[in-house]
Amino acid sequence: MTINKGTKFVVLTSQRSGSAWLISTLNMINDSTAYSELFLDRKRIPGEKKWDSDFAYPRFIEKKHNGLALRPFSVFSYLKGLYQNPGAVGFKLMYSQLRAYPEILFYLVRHRIRIVHLIRQNHLDVVISHAIRSKTKQSHLVTGQAKKDVQVKLDPNTLISQLKKLQRNIMLARRLLRWLKLPHIEVAYEDLLRDHSHFALIWEFLSINQEGFVPQSNLVKIRKGNPADVISNYEEIKTVLAGSSFANLID
């Protein structure tokens, strides 16, 4: 198994897209390190145990910048330090974080950083995942942790606007990547989960020779069951979606 030592990348995505699962899978590869949200504007809680605590890189907000306190120079310095680490190195970047730190785009373009654009095709699943996260206060489950049956109630008055926003964000990201001519591929969480052969696109793009082998993530899905099992007001939500372009998401 070999890997191009110079491969530097970003996983561009949105919340609740399966990105932690992908990041943890990439971390199972020799000479490859993929970090979580480095531009999350929240410091880690000392002593708090997270799934990535053993290898986490200091977030931008936690890092000292050797006198370069002003943006964009502090951001450039931070990314330069990150990508000096050996092996294939990447991190998860949310759409919202890119809007908050637009200078990251300049760095990505200047250094031709490879972009893995991860999407979740079923926007309803994203909304459900947000609702479960809000109710359980739990973002991820590590292998061995018990799953719980959880039901959530979705707001029928705002659901369509939420789905449209998720769809619009993906479209805007696609246009931006094309406009900037950044080296990128788009992969869908559902495809990766359903058929691991889709990982071959990522291996080729990041110059990874995995010979068909897909490492197993140490994260598992929190949600159990289909939408009818999870959404407490399922029939109401189904009726709302029936008259929209999102009707197929609940089938």
Every domain of the chain and the residues it spans: 2-250
pLDDT at 146: 46
What local confidence, expressed as pLDDT, does residue 68 receive? 64
Between CA 66 and CA 12 the distance in angstroms is 28
Amino acid at 79: L
| Strand partners of residue 96 | none
Domain 2-250 has CATH 1.10.3470: no
Between 232 and 70, the more confident residue is 232
Residue 169 to residue 141: CA distance in whole angstroms = 27
Convert the pLDDT of each residue in 98-109 to its tens digit: 999 999 999 999
Residue pair 217/199 in contact by the 8 Å Cβ criterion: no
249: Cβ contacts below 8 Å, ≥ 6 apart = 122, 123, 124, 125, 163, 241
Tens-digit pLDDT profile for residues 40-96: 998 887 777 776 767 789 999 998 766 567 889 999 999 999 999 888 899 999 999
* Total count of residues recorded for the chain: 251
pTM over 0.85: yes
Cα gap 117→74, rounded to integer Å: 25
204-236 CB burial, b ≥16 within 10 A, e <16: ebbebebeeebbebbbeebbeeebeebbeebee
Q: Residue 216 has what pLDDT?
A: 74
Poorest-pLDDT segment among 153-157, 165-169, 206-210: 206-210
Could you give the CA distance from residue 98 to residue 251 in angstroms, rounded to a whole number?
33
Q: Are 33 and 85 in contact (CB under 8 A)?
A: yes
Residue 210's pLDDT is: 67
Q: Is the dihedral of CA 26, 204, 106, 164 positive or negative?
A: negative
**By C-alpha distance, which of 129, 130, 95, 100 is closest to 115?**
95
Chain segment 211-229, per-residue pLDDT in tens = 666 767 767 666 667 889 9
